[in-house]
Structure 1
């Protein structure tokens, strides 16, 4: 039987893994559950990980470096029940042939669904209409309503969240443009999108939804020059990372009232109390809720169980991370 070790605190894990998930894991191997509420320190991790074939990590788990790996010579898989694995993987893992999988696919579903909700409510101008209605108006600004029909959707980044957003968009009568330098023209067409340059996407899109990773190449890719290309009355949605946007430049553009921004992430978080995003009427600012929140985190628990089952059955894993291309992903 495989030895499955949970290398995170019970306070975090209990929100991800339900009792049913734990029962499923026990059917797959000998499960060693978290020994404390808090996530282990690197020194504690050496004890926790002893004898593990499979390790489950999540938010707060330590980086599994060479010192920790020495205590688990038979380790074969790290299943990260969260998004990015950059905080937990080490070069030694690739050298030892340890496979890594992430629940980013499950996390991306919630992100994409949130982006869809923001797309619909923003095109419908619900935010302004709700304010009007509270203030006693009824028909004011109804002429600014747009349906998710016959519009152009620009998707920046075709990672797991971006691809799921594209899949959701294909249920509507819309044109979908994609900017992602790591996706070929053939892949884009197979997804039902048209691959274009970032500049072309910004000029043509009625909605721009950002799903690119936070890497040096994407830092402040939305700046004065690129934001100025956006259409009047467009909608900009960021459920990715705050670092992708030059916030000062975006605030200046929004001050003109040209378009609407739906901001789930900022840099840093939270934004300062006097940040323009908090007062501008054409900004929808929400507190980083696009990913897994509350019961949504349990999707990652089931995904992790299913991924471990695939690994043990020697089937292809859905969320396996190519450690050689870590610099290109979120």
Structure 2
């Protein structure tokens, strides 16, 4: 992985924990140099992370002993080619660990959205006096409907974390059957119904060719006036122009941790709107939360050394429908 990532995710105290389990051969940022090739020729396990070079057939040829790749972040797709899995190398991802802060952030935003914190704070800041909030805003989390788009790892964790609240949760996911939805304690609905009836729509679908523009202008147009769209997934999943139109018309609220592009151009209406909470992709693992990623990888390494199955092994058959 890149050196800045290594220092953040695996500081010295974490490395010491790894050294108590296995021989740490070195820290690589590339696979091209003779020094790096000598290292990977002797390793059984590679730990990868954000900024890692792609592992392809050439890298595999230089790593004859390689048995497992433990990825210390979410998706592994940018970092390895199909040759890795075809060779039978076990691949693990820390996606479940990275899902925790995203789900926690999402639940916090859902609860704040139903209390209409954004517009109330804006009004209060300007008026500097009391005003009748209940007369102007449909406040409260009791008996509100939350629509989850995508029963992904994060989507399922959001569902679990919402369980203690008096909310109705509905889910859209073409791969979620009625029985599985019942086990999750939610109802599976069509995307049109979800958008038209939910007080908060929260996006947790993976970014795939089939999900680009999934929430198109028609669906955003069907969202009820006063509803909130939360997106912690990827910006390209929604029709951003359609969302801008409804937000600036005073019809919707938006809580966006992702946009297209990643950093919006200066003067974009989302920056100045009191109906938008715009954050620079902070929902995922940052700060102390990076320790959870390191712990996930360390636990997987211990399982390998103990001859156990990986707890978070990447399933080949699910790669096409996951991030």
TM-score by length of 1: 0.92
- In the alignment, is the contact (CA less than 8 A) between 1:235 and 1:260 conserved in 2? yes
C-alpha deviation, 1:231, in angstroms: 1.4
- In the alignment, is the contact (CA less than 8 A) between 2:252 and 2:275 conserved in 1? yes
- In the alignment, is the contact (CA less than 8 A) between 1:18 and 1:301 conserved in 2? no
Secondary structure of 2:122 counterpart: helix
- In the alignment, is the contact (CA less than 8 A) between 1:83 and 1:102 conserved in 2? yes
C-alpha deviation, 1:20, in angstroms: 3.8
C-alpha deviation, 1:147, in angstroms: 2.4
- In the alignment, is the contact (CA less than 8 A) between 2:40 and 2:62 conserved in 1? yes
For 1:131 and 1:203, how far apart are their aligned partners in 2?
Answer: 27
Cα RMSD over matched residues?
Answer: 1.7
2:123 equivalent to 1:137: no
Tell me which protein shows more helix as a share of its residues: 2
2:178 equivalent to 1:185: yes
Cα gap change, 1:16 to 1:110, in 2 (>3 Å): same
Cα gap change, 1:251 to 1:47, in 2 (>3 Å): farther
C-alpha deviation, 1:19, in angstroms: 3.6
Cα gap change, 1:253 to 1:312, in 2 (>3 Å): same
Deviates more, 1:275-284 or 1:155-164: 275-284
Structure 1 stretches of 4+ with a deviation exceeding 6 A read: none
For 2:7 and 2:197, how far apart are their aligned partners in 1?
Answer: 45
- In the alignment, is the contact (CA less than 8 A) between 1:152 and 1:204 conserved in 2? yes
TM-score by length of 2: 0.94
- In the alignment, is the contact (CA less than 8 A) between 1:9 and 1:34 conserved in 2? no
Matching residue within 228, 231, 234 for 1:238: 231
Structure 1 counterpart of 2:86: 95
C-alpha deviation, 1:227, in angstroms: 0.6
Matching residue within 241, 246, 254 for 1:248: 241
Matching residue within 156, 162, 165 for 2:158: 165
Matching residue within 8, 12, 24 for 1:31: 24
Deviations 1:34-88 (A, max 9, x none): 15xxx22544653442211110000110111111111211111111101111111
Structure 1 counterpart of 2:118: 127
Secondary structure of 1:87 counterpart: helix
Secondary structure of 1:209 counterpart: strand
Q: Any unmatched runs of 5+ in structure 1?
A: 1-7
2:314 equivalent to 1:325: no
C-alpha deviation, 1:140, in angstroms: 4.6
Deviates more, 1:25-34 or 1:164-173: 25-34
2:292 equivalent to 1:302: no
Matching residue within 97, 103, 117 for 1:112: 103
For 1:320 and 1:152, how far apart are their aligned partners in 2?
Answer: 34
Structure 2 counterpart of 1:213: 206
2:8 equivalent to 1:40: no
Secondary structure of 1:28 counterpart: coil
For 1:190 and 1:309, how far apart are their aligned partners in 2?
Answer: 31
C-alpha deviation, 1:324, in angstroms: 3.4
C-alpha deviation, 1:145, in angstroms: 5.4
Matching residue within 77, 84, 90 for 2:75: 84
C-alpha deviation, 1:110, in angstroms: 0.7
Structure 2 counterpart of 1:55: 46
For 2:300 and 2:159, how far apart are their aligned partners in 1?
Answer: 24
Cα gap change, 1:158 to 1:43, in 2 (>3 Å): farther
Q: Any unmatched runs of 5+ in structure 2?
A: none
